[in-house]
Structure 1
Amino acid sequence: MAHSTATLRLTVGDLRIVHPITVPSGPVEAAEVVPTLQGLVNAVVGAAAAGKTVSCRKGCGACCRQLVPVSRSEGERLLRIVEAMPEERREALQVRFAAAEAVIEAAGLGQREGRNDRELSAAYFALGVPCPFLEDESCSIHLERPLICREYLVTSPAELCAGPAQEGVTPLPVPKVSLAARGLQDDADDWFPLALLMAWRRTRPRKTARHPGPEWMQRFLRQLGRK
């Protein structure tokens, strides 16, 4: 398939980003442009982190027990990644996802209704449920990790991140470009917790639109302008 390449010049908060993007020229599902969004978020995070000391390291998985909001488009891509894994690894993941879902549902956190995002996040973190993709306290899909995971970095000592109240934790101030992915397909604030990926698979919308890659990027940038 042919691809289109352009240089994106973007002002996000106090940051000025100049970043090359490449997307399929023809009609594709939104999941196909997620790698481009990953590169854009990486560029924004890199600019925000310039000159600062980030504490996050491989093997420090405290933040992988937080609520991770995932957009529909990211969810669709993650399902493809899981489906492409060897059977043994895929089955192990299924077990971890089922365990996480059971704990989350038992705590009454499977639905967002009745809680604001901050309350939901605090209650979720209190459960201590590890992300099913977490192995040996490191992300097993690091190159494909969700957009919001890329945006969460800290400059405070890493050991503070495990505290139940997150006291003393100093997140790196990064513009939340990931929010624009939530409305990419239908203009709604559509997301679900990453740990419920397999539960979402059972009920996800089956009809998926196809648009040229540049059009998907235009939609994303319009959403970003609304945030």
Structure 2
Amino acid sequence: MAAKAHSTATLRLSVGSLRIAHPITVPSGPVPATEILPALQGLVNAVVAAAEQGQAISCRKGCGACCRQLVPVSRTEGERLLELVRALPPRRREALAGRFAAAEAAIETAGLGERRGRSDRDLSTAYFALGVPCPFLEEESCSIHPDRPLICREYLVTSPPERCASPTQEGVAPLAVPKVSMAARGLQDEADDWFPLAMLMAWARSRPRKAARRTGPEWVQRFLGRLGIK
């Protein structure tokens, strides 16, 4: 089978007060949106790296308090994560399924499975109070760190990491990073919304099955358009 052709370009973007020059490589032909997610991850990484300049980041492997926050993920990220889970060895997949089931049960019991009537901020506060760990958290570290959601890449702090465990988040100083990750919401369809990462398996049971195919450059332009960048 012939290898897929790819297109490479250097994106020169103004994101908030940041100026970004970032090379990006995507498939040239029509592909599902999941195939350009690695390129979007690289773009978000570049934005975060630019925001980090001169800042002392205190986040370290093993300080997993932020992995108990509500992590909103897009449909495209959800589909990519399901692919990742399916590729795991059976024993790891089984253990992960148990953690997802426990998280889903805790969220539903607390009445947080339904977003209607709640602001995102109220939902996030109530969710963090539950202390439900991300199912991908193992030994207080992210077990899928290279493939972690876009919004996880954008959350870094400059304050002492032990403050992140406080329910009030008092004294926590997040790094000011433009929320580029939000452009992934509605990437495939305007009607697509976000869902909590811990509810991935619940979402999978009723997720949309029809997926659009566009060329890699078209997907990137669509993503940039959602950021207001032409």
Residue in structure 1 matched with residue 199 of structure 2 by the alignment: 196
Q: Given residue 164 of structure 1, which amino acid in structure 2 is its aligned partner?
A: P
Q: 2:18 aligns with which of 15, 34, 39?
A: 15
Aligned to 2:151, what secondary structure does the other structure show?
A: helix
- 1:116 alignment partner in structure 2: 119
Q: Secondary structure at the match of 2:163?
A: helix
May I ask how many residue pairs the two structures share in their alignment? 226
Give matches, 1:33-48, under 5 Å: 33-48=36-51
Structure 2: unaligned runs, 5 residues or longer: none
Letter in 1 for 2:107: I
Which residue of structure 1 lines up, in the alignment, with residue 35 of structure 2?
32
2:141 pairs with one of 135, 138, 157: 138
* Aligned match of 1:61: 64
| Sequence identity (%) | 77
SS in 2 for 1:23: strand
One-letter amino acid of the counterpart of residue 187, structure 1: E
* Separation in structure 1 between the aligned mates of residue 149 and residue 111 of structure 2, nearest angstrom: 24
The one-letter amino acid paired with 2:22 is H
Cα displacement (A) at 1:111: 1.4
Counterpart residue type for residue 39 of structure 1? G
In the alignment, residue 212 of structure 1 is paired with which amino acid? T
1:81 and 2:84 equivalent? yes
- Structure 1 residue aligned with 2:107: 104
Confirm or deny: 8 A CA contact 2:75 2:192 kept in the other structure: no
Which residue number in structure 2 is paired with residue 216 of structure 1?
219
* 1:51 corresponds to 2:58: no
1:13 Cα deviation (Å)? Answer: 0.4
Deviations 1:38-63 (A, max 9, x none): 00000000000011000000000000
Shift of 1:189: 5.8
**Further displaced range: 140-149 or 188-197:** 188-197
Shift of 1:187: 2.3
Q: Which runs of 5+ in 1 are unaligned?
A: none
Alignment equivalent of 2:128, drawn from 104, 125, 130? 125
> Letter of the aligned partner of 1:159 in structure 2?
E
Q: Partner of 1:199: helix, strand, or coil?
A: helix
1:152 aligned to 2:155? yes
Structure 1 position 183, deviation (Å) = 1.6
Q: How far apart are the structure 2 equivalents of 1:2 and 1:135?
A: 37
CA RMSD of aligned residues (A): 0.8
Deviation of residue 188 (structure 1)?
Answer: 3.7
Q: Secondary structure at the match of 1:205?
A: coil
